[in-house]
Amino acid sequence: MNLNPTPELLASLYWITLLAVVVSSASGVLKAGFKQFDLFGVIIIAIATGLGGGSLRDMLLDRNVFWIHDQTFFIASLASAIVIFISARLIKIPPKYFLVADAAGLATFAVAGTLVSLMAGASALVASFMGVMTGAMGGIFRDILCNEQPVVFSSPLYATVSWAGSLAFIGLVYFNLDVTISAIFTGIGIFVSRLLAIRFNICLPKFRFKT
């Protein structure tokens, strides 16, 4: 399955990716805030979270790394980090907002990663997994740098809703629904599903040995 990179498609991808970078970087700042990191530490965590998943995706697809090709994304990640860092000193930010920003980053990057992969000529299955990896790897980098177990390995339906959403996005595109509309529906679906999974603690079965 291949999508031709039309100007409209590239414009949709640009804005989806920019939104993903901003909200993912914000989640990195909030997680770093729990650890009381200084400004430099916060910026590093934000950049790793906002740019890490997409960087790995682009290297695996053998394409120009998106934020090196267009530094707007790097600037957006940096700006997001500084704004949240300053805002946290001026207004009270509840800890639960970390989960909201994280869910938003997961949703937007899952769609962006899938779309990029389809435009690069990847098969539907590979493109869907690239969406998962794009959405989840930034959070994994963030949690490892914060010396914590990555949320994706134990939190309620994290990568699961991302993969389901990526497959749903591919299905909508396959049936010729407008790509932008498909991206909006899918992104909202992943975001809401993730928050519902957190709210009601819906998890996959965990591995355990028979006793």
Q: For 46-100, what is each residue's pLDDT tens digit? A: 999 999 999 999 999 999 999 999 999 999 999 999 999 999 999 998 888 999 9
- Res. 143: pLDDT tops 90: yes
111-136 pLDDT, tens digit per residue, is: 999 999 999 999 999 999 999 999 99
Q: If we measure between CA atoms, which residue out of 20, 9, 29 comes closest to residue 51?
A: 20
180-210 pLDDT, tens digit per residue, is: 999 999 999 999 999 999 999 998 888 889 8
**What sign does the dihedral 125-127-132-133 (CA atoms) show?**
positive
Residue 186: both structure tokens together: 């899918």
- Exposed, middle or buried, 62 (CB in 10 Å: 0-12/13-18/19+)? exposed
Q: How many residues does the chain have?
A: 211
Of the listed ranges 1-10, 138-147, 197-206, the one predicted with least confidence: 1-10
Q: If we measure between CA atoms, which residue out of 139, 81, 82 comes closest to residue 109?
A: 139
**What is the rounded CA–CA span in Å between residue 32 and residue 43?**
9
- Res. 30: pLDDT tops 90: yes
**What is the rounded CA–CA span in Å between residue 102 and residue 28?**
8
Q: Classify residue 205 as left (phi > 0), alpha (psi -120 to 50) or beta.
A: beta
Confidence of residue 145 (pLDDT cuts 50, 70, 90): very high
- Predicted pLDDT at 116: 96
**What is the rounded CA–CA span in Å between residue 162 and residue 128?**
9
Query: Is 138 within 8 Å of 44 (Cβ atoms)?
Result: no
**What is the rounded CA–CA span in Å between residue 49 and residue 65?**
15
What's the whole-model pTM score? 0.94
- Exposed, middle or buried, 69 (CB in 10 Å: 0-12/13-18/19+)? exposed
